[in-house]
Structure 1
Amino acid sequence: MFHPASSSARATGPSHTPGTPPAPRAPEPRAPQRDAFFDNAKYLAIVLVAMGHSWDPMKGDSRVLQALYMFVYAFHMPAFILISGYFSRSFDMRPDRLKRLVTGVVVPYVVFETAYVLFKRTVGGDPGLPISLLDPWYLTWFLVALFVWRLTAPLWKLVRRPVPLAVLIAMLASVSPDIGNDLDLQRVLQFLPFFVIGLSLKPEHFPLVRRRAVRVLSVPVFAGALAVAWWAVPRMNPAWFYHRDSAQELGVPWWCGPVMVLALLGCSLLLTVCFFAWVPRRPMWFTSLGAGTLYGYLLHGFFIKGADYRGWYEPAWLHGPPGAVAVTVGAGVLVTALCTFPVRRALRPVMEPEMRWAFRRDATEAAGRRSAATAG
């Protein structure tokens, strides 16, 4: 019988004989290393997300906290979504990538949407809350959005002007109250431009925002944004930053929707650039945590909501500066712990299940062989 391996050995030289040391084996190709900049950016963005959520139950007592809340909400999710779009550039309809989309996005959505509803039923005192996979609750909207965005990534790479088209769709969504709450489509569509912008970026774009001049200029930009947020607290509805309602649902004229979409898009992109300018490029103590940001994102909500349900935000001392600092630091420590390797290892069967039993073996293995051939 013909054996390719033995044929290769005859072609390349004599086989190993007793008493002769074996020839050294060629080193196996290493897996591509993660970019420390992106892991750092994801970790820092998810820390800001957790801090913003921790401020929500107590921000009404402090204009400073409300200003910080609006400032952070202007760019923390846009930055995270932009990075998600950037890393979706290679997504296509290949079976192994579709499988990864199901196991890494759809399955966690079903699990955490169910878990959050059960949590609110038992801890939050709302026993009548139904489990509905069509109506994402709290943090799970992002998984629905990521599924839709990534599934449409090949289409955005096909059209001639993807970013203007995505902005136009977001503007139309902002004046369409009939979209409703199913799958949180308002958020999916209004945040869409950030994903498409990330999808359109190339590796050479990121060094441009990490130059020293950009870092220096970002300081007055951040200061100006904080001042504008302070001014806007009594004048602006913070719901605009959630991108989950149309203009009509917010009680303003319809034309305010497209105007706010454009204004917030420009503001969010500017602050995202400034945020990226200060993200470290070298490995840091928290760099490895960037691989577990989805864990931190989905898990920290149980602690924030649990503290709110149990009345832990009610003590008077929490509603002063020392309390705000303590809650902010606590949220950062909490989400950091939830991104660590022990947590990821314990929850990997839920967050990243193999599910080989659910997929055809021949399709995924054939796709894997094509991927290996391309890499070689």
Structure 2
Amino acid sequence: MDKVDHTASNTFMLNAKFLLILFVVIANCIEPLIQQSPAFHSLYLAIYTFHIPMFVMATGYFSKSFKLDVPGIQSLQMIFYHYLIFQSLYSLLDALAFHAPGVRYSFFIPYSLLWFLFSHFCWRLLLLLFTKLKHPLAISIVLGILIGYAPFTGTMLSFSRTLVFFPFFLAGYYFQLDRVPKLIVRLNKWFSAIGLLGILVLLNVTTLDPKWLYSSFTYTELGSLHWYTGGYRLGIYLLEIVASFCFLSFVPRTPSILTEWGKYTVYVFLLHAFITKTAISLGLFSHVHTAAQMALVLLLAAAMTWLLLQGWVRRFSQPLIEPHLSFWKRGAIRTNKRPQLPDSPDSPIK
């Protein structure tokens, strides 16, 4: 029974990972258009209410067996390698071609979406401490609220996002599908659709600053440093939890091609920004005006996600994304097995 339940949980989370990476690509593709399209602006905000928290949760789920043993050190090294290589590549390309506004070239300030890699490295190390504490989830929420009062910039070392989203990582770590009440798992999709519609209305009525959903800014940077500002962060947490439950109700629980694609989301995550940022730097989004053209942007985002999951793309990019990193084993246990990607369910880190 335990094996079946664990497999069901894996399938559920892999299906969720594919849908989430699809939303990541969609959000990044429509971001250049949100100022000219109220519909895209609402969609963009709605996606941000759940796609980062849920991706963090899925990452936490696949970190269940993390320890500072040989496989654990291997996974940390792979995450560090991804950050080192892609921070260098994206920074170099930005300096030469992308010229994104407000970018500071530093290994201590993750470039764009690479904050997730830096935070993932930290989340795994934080697990070693928090799994020994009583009420770790409650403590992590308190820390996520308090970090907003920090007197330094939240983007430095991805410090703000690391602590703000850590509760979702812990939730994924402790997640077991068989222990979730069936009423929640099988939440009526109509109610979830109504809930998401309500969130859209709320986001438009309150004119929420997207920076609150990015969670990379301190309260000072958000222009709202008061003793009670932590209550706003708590409200954002509640909004993200409701939106996440609504999202999860639409995630399939049975194996399918989505499950297989969910194993390789790291390829989409690391590669898609090369395409989107090139399109932005070439001014392609400035030609998007009509509803038909905006619909085409959504279709192209889905097509790009599908393309980057194809086997030939993985084979071509594997030497960069999944290289042999055997030098770290010196003095440690020797093994002939090839290192697995940290986010793969076939990895030693499950």
C-alpha distance in 2 between matches for 1:168 and 1:216: 33
C-alpha distance in 2 between matches for 1:213 and 1:240: 28
Aligned to 2:260: 288
Aligned to 1:231: 205
Normalised to the residue count of structure 1, the TM-score between the two structures is 0.82
Normalised to the residue count of structure 2, the TM-score between the two structures is 0.87
Cα displacement string for residues 326-372 of structure 1 (whole angstroms, at most 9, x for unaligned residues): 1111111102211222222222232222211232264354999xxxx
Q: Answer yes or no: is 1:278 the counterpart of 2:261.
A: no
C-alpha distance in 2 between matches for 1:344 and 1:207: 38
Paired residues of 2:154 and 2:216 also in contact (CA < 8 A): no
Task: Please report how far the alpha carbon of residue 180 of structure 1 lies from its aligned counterpart in structure 2 after TM superposition.
Answer: 4.9
One-letter identity of the residue aligned with 1:297? F
Q: What runs of 5+ residues in structure 2 fail to find an aligned partner?
A: 1-5, 339-350
Larger radius of gyration: 1
C-alpha distance in 2 between matches for 1:248 and 1:98: 37
Which of 148, 157, 160 in structure 2 is aligned with 1:183?
A: 157
Please give the residue correspondences for 1:1-376 in structure 2 after superposition, counting only pairs within 5 Å: 35-103=10-78, 105-125=79-99, 131-206=105-180, 208=182, 211-232=185-206, 235-255=207-227, 257-315=229-287, 318-360=288-330, 362-365=332-335
One-letter identity of the residue aligned with 1:36? T
Q: What runs of 5+ residues in structure 1 fail to find an aligned partner?
A: 1-31, 369-376
Cα displacement string for residues 151-193 of structure 1 (whole angstroms, at most 9, x for unaligned residues): 2212121101111110111111111132553212111111111
Change (3 A) 1:83 1:65: same
One-letter identity of the residue aligned with 2:264? G
Change (3 A) 1:272 1:337: same
One-letter identity of the residue aligned with 1:300? H
- Length, aligned pairs only: 332
SS for the counterpart of 1:194 is: helix
Percent of aligned pairs sharing the same letter: 28
Task: Please report how far the alpha carbon of residue 323 of structure 1 lies from its aligned counterpart in structure 2 after TM superposition.
Answer: 1.9
Structure 1 window deviating more from structure 2 (185-194 vs 135-144): it is 185-194
Cα displacement string for residues 176-220 of structure 1 (whole angstroms, at most 9, x for unaligned residues): 132553212111111111112212222424573664444342121
C-alpha distance in 2 between matches for 1:179 and 1:308: 27
Cα displacement string for residues 10-54 of structure 1 (whole angstroms, at most 9, x for unaligned residues): xxxxxxxxxxxxxxxxxxxxxx97833222110100100111111
Structure 1 runs (4+) deviating above 6 angstroms are none
C-alpha distance in 2 between matches for 1:243 and 1:130: 18
Paired residues of 1:50 and 1:300 also in contact (CA < 8 A): yes
- The CA RMSD over aligned residues, in Å, is 2.5
Change (3 A) 1:211 1:359: closer
One-letter identity of the residue aligned with 2:70? P
Paired residues of 1:95 and 1:364 also in contact (CA < 8 A): no
C-alpha distance in 2 between matches for 1:335 and 1:274: 23
C-alpha distance in 2 between matches for 1:212 and 1:194: 21
Paired residues of 1:166 and 1:193 also in contact (CA < 8 A): yes
C-alpha distance in 1 between matches for 2:224 and 2:302: 36
C-alpha distance in 2 between matches for 1:352 and 1:366: 15
